[in-house]
């Protein structure tokens, strides 16, 4: 599967299938700080991601408050 | 995973509620949380004109959308900060949303209208970029709400923002700041009423709302905010939240319920020393207000 990460933008290739919660653990990403979008669709942490899928791990934390 | 409300397949899990929602039930959940915040904190009254501060990001666009969906009179306010491509991009998202919804977007451009931008202002005033930006926006939002005759100014601060600010204020035991950290600040003394209707939603929920509602927003983070203190507080709180879901909400709402009433007098005391700035007329406790000082140091004008 192709995994897209943001801030900074980068791309990884991982072998599927894999459950979303396992994918986030493997990427060392806190589940509170991202949305996972598989082939354009928002998914829950128990969803399984197939080998040919494109996964966007979209960061949701914005900074900037003074 | 099934939707908590209707048992249809879920598209998002909200860990602090130990619940998951399908697409339509999640959108309803977000709207209900905003409605509940507005009602319980007495933020906006029927028929009032609202000015929504819009950055082109997920929170402010979700807020504007929810208020419009609730058939409120809500105009947007976009402030161009002169942060290169990031500002042009964020303006594009704000304009596109307004155009699609047929909503009115008021625009202010810091470089054009006040003669400085955030990178210049930050270095000239020796302030962190987020501090110069926050100061400028607070001044301009307030002034625009007053000038436009709006009843209330709404900002997209969410639960994570408020919990992180509270965390910082507690670390420093900053009583005047703690006393002002309420989701509604009343009008008067040169201030418009300010409200934060998203305080019952996390930023993960506001982002999901945008994705599911088809709202395009600027996903890239402001290049000037990298590594700031506020982001570090959010990361620390999210580490706690991941192990103990509901901690952020308990921290913030516990403060509002139990501690805020005790520290409000500190903020009221500070407000008693306010007088109009001789240059721009905005309320200040100093001889000249912080916005006018910043603009002058950066070679601009107020």
Q: Report the CATH number at residue A25.
A: 3.10.20.30
Residue of chain A with shortest Cα separation from B23? A42
CB proximity B75 to A under 8 Å: no
Q: Which is the CATH superfamily of the domain at B42-263?
A: HUPs (3.40.50.620)
Question: Between residues A6 and B234, which one has the greater pLDDT?
Answer: B234
DSSP string over B122-136: HHHTT--HHHHHHHH
CB proximity A59 to B under 8 Å: yes
What does pTM read for this prediction? 0.96
Residue-wise pLDDT tens digits, B172-194 = 999 989 999 999 999 998 999 99
pLDDT number for residue B226: 79
Residues A63, B220: C-beta atoms closer than 8 Å? no
Please name the residue that has the structure tokens 């914005």.
A62
CB proximity A32 to B under 8 Å: yes
Residues A44, B13: C-beta atoms closer than 8 Å? yes
pLDDT number for residue A64: 57
Domain that holds residue A27: 2-59
- Chain B neighbors of A30, CB-CB under 8 A: 235, 238-239, 242
Structurally, how many domains does chain A consist of? 1
- Chain B neighbors of A59, CB-CB under 8 A: 219, 221
Residues A65, B135: C-beta atoms closer than 8 Å? no
pLDDT number for residue B119: 95
Mapping DSSP to helix (H, G, I), strand (E, B) and coil, where does residue B183 land?
Answer: coil
Q: Is residue A65 part of a domain?
A: no
Residues B130, A37: C-beta atoms closer than 8 Å? no
Residues B15, A31: C-beta atoms closer than 8 Å? yes
Q: Is residue A49 part of a domain?
A: yes
Q: Is the pLDDT reported for residue A66 higher than 50?
A: no
CB proximity B19 to A under 8 Å: no
Q: Give percent of chain B above pLDDT 90.
A: 89
Which spans in chain B are helix H?
A: 23-40, 58-69, 84-101, 118-124, 129-147, 159-172, 175-180, 203-213, 229-243, 247-254, 260-272, 290-297
Give B221's DSSP letter.
P
pLDDT number for residue B299: 93
Show me where the domains of chain B are located: 42-263
For chain B, which ranges sit under pLDDT 70?
A: none
């Amino acid at each position: 599967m192709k995994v897209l990460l943001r801030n900074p933008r980068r791309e990884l290739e991982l072998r599927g299938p894999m459950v979303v919660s396992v994918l986030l653990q493997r990427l060392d990403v806190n589940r509170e700080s991202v949305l996972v979008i598989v082939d354009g669709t928002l998914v829950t942490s128990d969803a399984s991601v197939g080998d040919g899928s494109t996964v966007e791990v979209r960061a949701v934390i914005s900074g900037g408050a003074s | 995973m099934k939707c908590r409300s209707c048992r249809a397949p879920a598209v998002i899990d909200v860990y602090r509620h130990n619940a998951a929602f399908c697409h339509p039930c999640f959108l309803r959940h977000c709207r209900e949380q905003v409605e509940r915040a507005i009602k319980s904190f007495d933020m906006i009254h029927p028929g009032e004109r609202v000015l929504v501060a819009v950055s082109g990001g997920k929170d402010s666009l979700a807020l504007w959308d929810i208020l419009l969906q609730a058939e409120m009179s809500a105009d947007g306010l976009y402030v161009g900060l002169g942060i290169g491509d990031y500002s042009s991009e964020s303006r594009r998202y704000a304009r596109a949303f307004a155009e699609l919804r047929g909503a009115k977007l008021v625009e202010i451009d810091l470089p054009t209208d006040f003669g400085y931008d955030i990178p210049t202002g930050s270095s000239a005033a020796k302030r962190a970029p987020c501090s110069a930006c926050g100061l400028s926006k607070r001044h301009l939002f307030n002034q625009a709400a007053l000038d436009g005759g709006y009843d209330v100014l709404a900002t997209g601060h969410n639960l994570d923002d408020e919990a992180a600010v509270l965390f910082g204020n507690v670390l420093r035991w900053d009583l005047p700041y703690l006393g002002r950290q309420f989701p509604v600040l009343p009008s008067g003394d040169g201030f418009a009423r300010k409200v934060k209707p998203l305080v019952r939603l996390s930023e993960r929920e506001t982002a999901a709302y945008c994705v599911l509602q088809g709202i395009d927003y600027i996903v890239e983070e402001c290049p000037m905010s990298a590594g700031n203190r506020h982001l570090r507080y959010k990361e620390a709180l999210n580490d706690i939240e991941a192990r103990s879901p509901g901690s952020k909400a308990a921290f913030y709402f516990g403060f509002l319920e139990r501690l805020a009433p005790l520290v409000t007098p500190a903020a009221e005391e500070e407000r008693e020393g306010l007088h109009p700035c001789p240059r721009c007329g905005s309320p200040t406790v100093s001889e000249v207000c912080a916005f006018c000082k910043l603009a002058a140091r950066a070679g601009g004008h107020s």
